[in-house]
Chain A
Amino acid sequence: MSEVRTLNLNMGPQHPSTHGVLRVALELDGETVVKAKPVIGYLHTGVEKTMESKLYHKALPLTDRMDYLAPMSNNLGYCLAVEKLMGIEVPEKVKWVRACLAELTRVNSHLVWVGTHGLDLGAMSMFLYAFRDRETILDIYEACGGQRMMTSYFRIGGLAKDIPKDFDKRVRHIIKEVRKGLIDYEKLLTENEIFIKRTKGVAVISAEDAINYSLSGPMLRGSGIKHDLRKANPYSGYENFDFEIPIGKNGDAYDRYKLRLEEIRQSFRICEQILDGMPEGPFRAHVPGVVLPPKEDVLHKIESMIFHFKIITEGFKAPVGSVYQAIESPKGEIGFYITGDGTNTPRRVRVRPPAFVNLASLPKLVEGGLFADVVCAIGSIDIILGEVDR
């Protein structure tokens, strides 16, 4: 009997299809993956530690830089958590604008995902189409927050400034453009023989395992579990909107792809409802000493200026206690666990990272499969290393 030897192969940290700096240590028997061990931490930034050393308002820009494809979702989660901790109720308009932008963020993230996943599997043109359409969304980010990616547009208790006058027109333009684009994507990928061969039956995870691995987002829904925090525990006005939760059947990469495209359509449904019924009102709650006063007032009213100065220099004191606020980000459940200890900096800010938890299931997805499918599995989890490592 000859000895069976396996091959150890190191994939990453610099690899074109690991979506950043993920490293996977693989053990191969021929073409079959015997063992896979993801090694992470190559982008560990110390975000949590840095947030704990900052005032509540000043920790906000750091949240953008975790999941950099969904900055608005992260902002939303953090703002909601601090608002919960401080017991602030935001105006109705703020909720709706936030929900609208969070949905556009979902589209943004899924577009990049479709593009890069296509690129991984050899469909180069998909990348070009997806990035073309994504630019329209970045334009509205820029119009609102003044930045293309790291908007930090939401503030604790409201928005940084009022929405631009042509907000409605811009969002409708995005919806029109991306809907047109979706037809192209469907033509390019959904019926594509090669794409189906590469994704159907690949990286399968059953519903039971999905729960056992604490998966969330499209990974969980792809396995047929109808769970979406927007419906389950509505936040930021989601109880007012009518939308479907798409679910998959087989829990493979193809189902997750179909599901994400369907989520884009549902996001547009929500956006249209928001635009049709956008309430009027202030763009920031009036809570002196906690919420920053609007810039207009700071320039013209003495007490607003004093509050502004006090909040920026000293911050506000949070009560002793812990809150957890989870929202449905494009990747899954992103939760902010914030512990206040009576001082002006948080005792603990914990980010429950969806991609980190989802990535832990990678060995389960690839072991026993073919080596070439590892790329597809990593892609279908939709990881963002900035958020995995924080």
Chain B
Amino acid sequence: MDNREAKFVLNAYRPGGQDANDPRFAEALEQVRRDPIFQQWFDNSVAFDTAMTEKLCATPVPSDLRESILTGVKVARPPKWKNRWRKMTIAAAAVLGATLGVLIWHNTRPTPVAGWQLQALDAILSSIARNESHFDAISSNPVDLVKWLRANHAPVEEKLPNGLDKLPTIGCKTFFWRGKPVSLICFTLPEGRAIHLVMTNVSTESDRAIKHDAKVIQQGQWATATWREGNMIYMLALEGSRDELQHYVL
């Protein structure tokens, strides 16, 4: 082993000395001891590596990163309760997706709600219905889901509208529709049915035209309500009648 080869090997020698007993370095270190000039190179190399390690290990870490990791994984864990509510929610989502899908793809009649609402629900609820793991986060606690959405910069206000935060949740999903971020939270109603809240930020003139008072319409077996609060647009969807949905629309 000549000095060039030894130098090549010693570039992998950790400055903390953890590798002192590694036989791969033995010959190179012996070479260092025999050659004072090479020893100086090695000392300088170790000093440089030590300084780099110290500087790199002093790089600050975001103060909320730990909590964000723990909360994110906590809400993503499937809850232990797997009861009929979940199954009914998945089934309901499938029906909603199919219903809205028909309206979108076949255009059988004019739809009184915006395309993003229909396409978003069709795409997302259908995919969730096919496989429940498509939720980005799963929790029965709406606070956890809101926290998760906020941590991931998805559209959501800290307080959910219309007292929905009192309902247990199934999960949430984030996605983009034409470059526009959209959030979805699925809740379970006391009798086991599902109700879905879709949220997105105001970004276009047509968004701004949406009124504060909810517009409740019937879409086949489904009722939807759409309204705007400040910079947030909400859509609530329920398999049932307008009257039933009206109960959750203030």
Is B one of A's binding partners?
A: no
Seen from chain B, the residues whose Cβ lies within 8 Å of a Cβ on chain A are none
Using CB atoms and an 8 Å cutoff, list the residues of chain A in contact with chain B.
none
